[in-house]
Structure 1
Amino acid sequence: MPSYPTGAAGRAAATLAAALAVTLPLFAGAGPAVADDGRPDRDFTIEDPRITESSGLAASRAHPGVYWTHNDSDDGPYVYAVDSRTGKTLATITMRGVGEPRDVEGISIGPDGDLYVGDIGDNLDGTWDHVWIYRFPEPKALRDATVTAVQYDVTYADGARNAEALMVHPKTGRVYIASKNEDGGGLYEGPAKLTTGSANVFRRVGEVPWVTDGAFSPDGTRLVLRSYFSAREYAFEDGRLGEDRSVGAPFQRQAESVTYTADGSALMFGSEGARSEVVRVETEGGPGSGSGSGSGEGSGAPAKGGDRGSADGTGEGGSGNAALGAAVLVGVAALWLALKRRRRG
């Protein structure tokens, strides 16, 4: 579920979220629809009425065009396989042996083919002295099943904190977590190998902005981190962040998730809510991003021959995002001024 900072920053975030709830539905016609061409990895809508708080995405390695997701809280130990061709759920996996999940916020697939599920949320910012990661092999067949998952205890070297992004490096298998804080979060690196029976201590290795999800490119050379209103892609080498650039993330009502397609040709951005939309945005630049290997352009992608717009609507080819972004900003400004006038009255 969404959580906002306290104080003035919290009031501003809540106001902005309310403004988005008002303005974004006006542009419903500009959003994605379930692909009708039968091709995978396109814009799609999650059709399952049980999935109302999709908070993480991971592209299947065993089943092309399938994306794993989960609700973030008050759901249970469930993970869902969703077909990007139709938006329908192909399998519901029930995790056994993990207790009662508290706040599941992230999902990723490791080089071993295992799914890693991050029960790492803490909306009270440090109330829980430890969080959990669950792990089980990606099913070879897509059907409803109950699997036994391994549960790992996780702590942070510098104290408990809230987090929503769990990323497993596709080459080393090392697990990373990005914390979420109004003043900027941290990138935390886990031990070389997770173990049971004792806490796995994650140590801060980089500084990152407010983050709601993240994912590594298939070759591990890039790391994308998204927030409610923007996204950045970082070069990643030897476990450390490098040069970064803005990514043309779509505007979504509750921007919660991101993953690369299995071939690295695009990013898939998801959000919370009933029948939430997943939007494809083409990647660019370097083999880590899979430039040039896309299967086509979704509604979040640029026009041919142009660079896509950044998250703030700038750049060639980003006219769709720019128009929507401008409309949102106008709506936010109008609401903000109305609130100020009301306080003075």
Structure 2
Amino acid sequence: MGSRPGNVMTRGFVVAVLAGATVFAGAGAGAEAEARAEARAGAEARADGDALLFTFKDRRITESSGLAVSPTHKDLYYTHNDSSAGPVFYAVGPNGRTRATFTLRGAEARDWEGMAATKDPVTGAGVLWFADIGDNFDGAWPDVSVYKVTEPTTFTRTALPTILPAVRYRFRYEDGGHNAEGVMVNPRTGRLYIVSKEFSGSVYAAPKRLRADRDNVLRKVGSAPIMATDAAYAPDGSSFVIRTYFSATVYRVPGEQIARVSMPALDQAESITYTPDGQALLTGSEGTGSPVYRVPLPADVLQRTAPKPAATPMASRSIGDDTALVANARADEDADAGVPGSVVAAWLAVAAAATGMITFIARRTR
């Protein structure tokens, strides 16, 4: 969960509200049944091969909020902290130990919430994307930013972080400000997407060609699960996943859900990405010494996302094609792939009651 600098108390209150909502929702018999079903699903998933990949050993990594696998270096992972930590990211080995630390030159870290990693289709070089998109007051910022960085080629532990140049792209939503924590880039088309973190979340598509000299407008192309905390595209671009505090949902395109995937229990689920072979998901949490788990994708999900021959013009459409996006942003507006219905209702009730208190605290901490 992101927070604005200087509003730690507000952040803690919001977390408490969410936690309290979950407990409150569990009081009813229906909610209890759903919770038991979730627990059984989680146990079955762990029995199917969920495994602890590593824990972050670097005590500077206290709020791992973004996670990505290097597209060019084997067994190398990237992460960054949440807000108030500076524009810094970490390269981590398979044992969870930091191999190098990097700072983005001239960048801000207002509320970094997610990252993505891709390959340049022309040069084959790795590209890293860092999303400064958190906004806990849903529209307080006039714009949000995503930084594009060429992936480092050397990794050396030094006393000070290595400084890297970055390109800053500013964005604004076509329908007003939103809080967001998910960023993903389609490896087939290079198009960037932002996923809002709201009770009625949405997937927003960036323009095909980004401009660094002006705002880029984000337009809604589909709905997202409630309180989405991260998102990532599969390495082959066949599908993407959106993470919530409770589970993950795989989509073929915005508005076309494939399956819901159970996740390991984490203190505060914040990040998700794919393994390089696309056969599993990696998911992480905030906190010092936080874990990263490897979650194999179910066989039916892999089968349904496997590339198919293009038998018709419709089948040959790129996932990033604007027409396909508009066609698929349709009847899924009211779907909730992330949280049981009873929990949603309870959250809404608690959130409504807490709005006044949050506003009061925010004003007192200015």
Tell me if structure 1 keeps the 8 A contact 2:249–2:257. Answer: no
Counterpart of 2:116 in structure 1 is 108
Give the AA of the match of 2:289: R
Partner residue of 1:117? 130
Structure 2 residue 204 is matched with structure 1 residue 194 = no
* Aligned match of 1:300: none
The equivalences for 1:144-293 within 5 A come to 144-182=161-199, 184-210=200-226, 211-236=228-253, 240-284=254-298, 285-286=301-302
Whole-Å separation in 1 of the counterparts to 2:192 and 2:184: 6
Distance in 2, matches of 1:186 and 1:5, equals 24
Amino acid corresponding to residue 218 of structure 2 in structure 1? F
Q: Distance in 1 between matches of 2:181 and 2:277?
A: 24
Q: Equivalent residue for 1:89?
A: 98
Residues 273 and 18 of structure 1: CA distance in aligned 2, closer, same or farther (over 3 Å): farther
Letter in 2 for 1:15: G
Greater mean deviation of Cα atoms: 172-181 or 134-143 = 134-143
Compute the displacement of 1:163 (Å): 0.2
Q: Distance in 2 between matches of 1:10 and 1:104?
A: 18
SS of alignment partner, residue 267 of structure 2? coil
3-state SS of paired residue (1:247) = strand
Q: Which has the higher helix share?
A: 2
CA distance in 1, matches of 2:284, 2:68: 11
**Change beyond 3 A, Cα 1:126–1:102:** same
1:277-325 Cα offsets, whole Å, 9 max, x none, are 001100133368689xxxxxxxxxxxxxxxxxx999xxxxxxxxxxxxx
CA distance in structure 2 between the aligned counterparts of 1:289 and 1:266, rounded to whole angstroms:
12
In the alignment, which residue of structure 2 is the partner of 1:15? 20
1:111–1:169 contact (8 Å) kept in structure 2: no
1:43 partner SS: strand
Higher RCO (CA-CA < 8 Å; seq separation 6+): 2
Residue type of the alignment partner of 1:136: V
SS at match of 1:286: helix
2:221 and 2:62 mapped to 1: Cα distance? 33
Inter-CA distance 82–197: structure 2 relative to 1 (3 Å threshold): same
SS class of match (2:65): strand
Contact 1:217-1:288 at 8 Å conserved across structures: no
Q: 1:134 to 1:10 in 2, by over 3 A?
A: closer
Q: CA deviation at 1:268?
A: 0.4
Match of 1:127 among 140, 162, 165: 140
User: Aligned in 2, Cα 1:12/1:147: closer, same or farther, shift over 3 Å?
Assistant: closer
Residue 110 of structure 1 aligns to a residue in which SS?
strand
Cα 1:17/1:65, change in 2 over 3 Å: farther
Number of equivalences: 270
> Which residue identity lines up with residue 166 of structure 1 in the other structure?
V
Q: Measured at CA, do residues 89 and 11 of structure 1 come closer, stay the same or move farther in structure 2, by a change above 3 Å?
A: closer
Q: Is residue 5–residue 181 contact of structure 1 (8 Å, CA) maintained in 2? A: no
Report if the CA contact (8 A) 2:258-2:304 is conserved: no
Partner of 2:354: none
Give the one of 49, 74, 86 matched to 1:76: 86
Instruction: Find the residue that maps to 2:85 and give its secondary structure.
Output: coil
Rounded to whole Å, the distance in 2 between the matches of 1:230 and 1:264 is: 18
Structure 1 residues 142-172: Cα deviation after superposition (integer angstroms, max 9, x where no partner): 2352111011111000011100000011111
The corresponding residue for 1:139 is: 152
Deviation at 1:16, TM superposition (A): 5.4
TM-score by length of 2: 0.68
Cα deviation, residue 61, structure 1: 1.0
Separation in structure 1 between the aligned mates of residue 257 and residue 230 of structure 2, nearest angstrom: 19
**Is the contact made by 1:54 and 1:270 (CA closer than 8 Å) also made in structure 2?**
yes
* 1:42/1:198 CA distance change after superposition, 3 Å: same
* 2:88 and 2:103 in contact (8 A); partners too: yes
CA shift at 1:17, angstroms?
7.2
User: 2 CA distance for matches of 1:208 and 1:311?
Assistant: 9
SS at match of 1:54: coil
Q: Quick one: percent identity of the two aligned structures?
A: 44
- Counterpart CA distance in 1 for 2:231 and 2:297 is 15
